[in-house]
Structure 1
Amino acid sequence: MSRNRRICPNDVLDAAERVVLKSGSSGLSIDAVAKEAGISKSQVVYDHKTKSGLLEALVDRQLQRDGDFVKESVASCSKTQHPELFGRIKAAATGWEEAERAVCMAVSASLSSDDRLQELMRQWQQNDLNAIKAGPKPRAALVAYMALSGFSCMELFGFHKWSDEDREALLSDIRKIYETFPDE
């Protein structure tokens, strides 16, 4: 009698990322993930119930990774004028991996029809906005954060790939928005 292969939840999510990288968001399915992970479809269904549940878990994991990275960046900017803002700017300096872009595209393709994903993204964004507005010069920080968001979205959605030189110059300009913004 054969034994079922044991697989941890992160292995399934790794497989889901690989599926999205290979086939895009339209290729993400319970069956495709099961095949990629080398497990039965029922194992994926047991853990995630639906394609939406699988995508939600993938987004949760990506947001957790991003949050951890931002926390590290914020901590390393603790001596700056605005650690929350400057930490996020520092985090953006590294760019994004292909898997992060693929997950972002899968999320954007599903957002219009998935209330739970919309809520996850709203909460993530609200947490960022709260952190940005809690520091000194909140209006200046918000304007700089909006510039950073636009910069990041252009690359995450694949509209433009910044060269290292352009990335460094633009992020420096975003810092200057904060530093030179008139006091409130």
Structure 2
Amino acid sequence: MGRPRKISKDDILDAAERVIEHLGSTGLSIDAVAQKAGISKSRVVYDHKSKSGLLEALVARQMAREMADVAEAVVRHRHTLHPELFARIELASRSLTDTDRAIVMAVSASMSSAEHLQDRIREWKCIDMDAMQAGPRPEAAVMAYLALTGMFCLDLFGHPQWTASEKATILDGVRSIYENLPLNTPPIFPKT
């Protein structure tokens, strides 16, 4: 007889992502995740307490992944005018997966009643805004970042669906906002 398979917290979160991808946010439940992971419901509850806890763990994991990707991209862009901005522009060229979109929809649907999820997302965006304002030409960086964020939100919701060439053109435009915004632009963004 073989050893029982060890299930990690990441295995549970992977199962939650698969549930969301296949059933949407309405299909996410402790039972569905336990079944998908092949474990007991009590194990999911022990690790995450609730559906909201699962979503918060998914957000935290995605934040950690994204922050690691940004850190690596900042190193690649260390010789640009604004490494933090140009790193995020590079990462925005990636294609989003159906799982990415499904998770965002699930988190979005839950945010109205889960203030701690709102706090996590705000924390994530404050990190980005602080990075934009810490570099040279902070007003231009914030304007470009806002354009980048708008493009990303549209991309998450799958409309419009840009080709790789169209997306590259848009991202060149975002770079252009940073590079060409007049230097006498008054500071309009408070520090987060």
Fold shared per TM-score above 0.5: yes
Aligned-partner SS, 2:148: helix
Structure 2 distance, partners of 1:65, 1:157, is: 21
1:141-152 residue pairs with structure 2 within 5 A?
141-152=141-152
Indicate conservation of the 8 Å contact 1:13/1:57, yes or no. Answer: yes
Deviations 1:5-37 (A, max 9, x none): 420110000000000000011111000000000
Aligned-partner SS, 2:53: helix
Structure 2 distance, partners of 1:120, 1:82, is: 25
Other-structure match for 1:58: 58
TM-score by length of 1: 0.96
Structure 1 distance, partners of 2:108, 2:57, is: 15
Other-structure match for 2:76: 76
**Alpha-carbon offset, residue 55 of structure 1:** 0.8
Other-structure match for 2:133: 133
Alignment length (residue pairs)? 184
Q: Give ranges in structure 2 of 5+ residues lacking alignment.
A: 185-192
Deviations 1:153-176 (A, max 9, x none): 001122322110101000001100
TM-score by length of 2: 0.92
Q: Give ranges in structure 1 of 5+ residues lacking alignment.
A: none
Structure 1 distance, partners of 2:164, 2:56, is: 32
Deviations 1:105-132 (A, max 9, x none): 1111111100110000010000100001
User: Percent same amino acid among aligned pairs?
Assistant: 52
Structure 2 distance, partners of 1:158, 1:8, is: 32
Deviates more, 1:169-178 or 1:67-76: 67-76
Structure 1 distance, partners of 2:98, 2:84, is: 25
Other-structure match for 1:118: 118
Deviates more, 1:96-105 or 1:45-54: 96-105
1:81-92 residue pairs with structure 2 within 5 A?
81-92=81-92
Structure 2 distance, partners of 1:55, 1:79, is: 37
Letter in 1 for 2:110: S
Letter in 1 for 2:40: S
**Alpha-carbon offset, residue 98 of structure 1:** 2.0
Structure 2 distance, partners of 1:5, 1:44, is: 15
Aligned-partner SS, 1:24: helix
**How well do the aligned residues superpose, as a CA RMSD in angstroms?**
1.5
Structure 2 distance, partners of 1:24, 1:53, is: 17
